[in-house]
Amino acid sequence: MIPNPEECLLLMSEYEMLDNIRAHSRVVAEIAGFIGRGLIKDRINLNLKLIISAALLHDIGKTACLNNGRDHSRLGEEICRRHNFQELAPLVRQHVILQGELPPEADERLVVYYADKRVNHDQIVNLSARLAYIIERYGQNDPRRCRAINDNFKQAFIIEDMIFRHLPIKPEELTTVNLSDTES
C-alpha cells in the first residue's frame, strides 16, 4: 500500500515530526516529483506516487531519533512496515546510504535519495553545498566519518548524471524551475 500525500501529512503529525523537518520533507517531495515526472516523460518506468510518498516520509523517524544516536532511516523503515507501506520501507531506509549496486537507470529509490541530497533544511542547494553541510554537521572532525560521507556522496554525483541526461534542464537550474510544472 502506498499512502497519498494527505495520509503522509497525517503520519507526520502522528509521529510529531518537527516543523523544520516537515518543511525539508515537502521540498524533497517537490524535487522528487519534478524529477520523477521528467523521467517518466522520457520513458523511464517509475511509480510517481511511490516517489512522492517516500520523499514525504523519508524523515518520518528523525524527530524520535534526535539526541539519542538512533538511526532515523532504520526507524523510518520500521514505521513504514508498521503501517503496511512495504514498498516505501526500503526507499525510506536507503535515503541516507544506498545499499547494493546502482541500476543502469534511475529508479524510485535513487530519485528519493538524490532529492534529499539537494535540500539543506528547506532550501534547494547543489550537491557540493549539501556535502559541505553534512560533513560539518555529522563529520565530527573525524577523518573516517568524513571519508565515509564523501564516499556516499560520490554516488549522488553519479545519480545526478544518470537523472539529468533525461531532463531538459541542468542540475544547477533546479533552483530556478517551477517544481510543480507537469511539463518538466
Cell of 122: 528547506
What's the predicted TM-score (pTM) here? Answer: 0.93
pLDDT of residue 121: 93
User: Are 75 and 16 a contacting pair, CB within 8 Å?
Assistant: no
pLDDT of residue 85: 97
What pLDDT tens digit does each residue of the chain (184 aa) get?
A: 999 999 999 999 999 999 999 999 999 999 999 999 999 999 999 999 999 999 999 999 999 888 888 889 898 999 999 999 999 999 999 998 899 899 999 999 999 999 999 999 999 999 999 999 999 988 888 899 999 899 988 999 999 999 999 999 999 999 888 887 644 4
CATH for the 5-173 domain, from 3.40.1700, 3.10.450, 1.10.3470, 1.10.3210: 1.10.3210
Q: Where are the domains of the chain?
A: 5-173
pLDDT of residue 183: 47
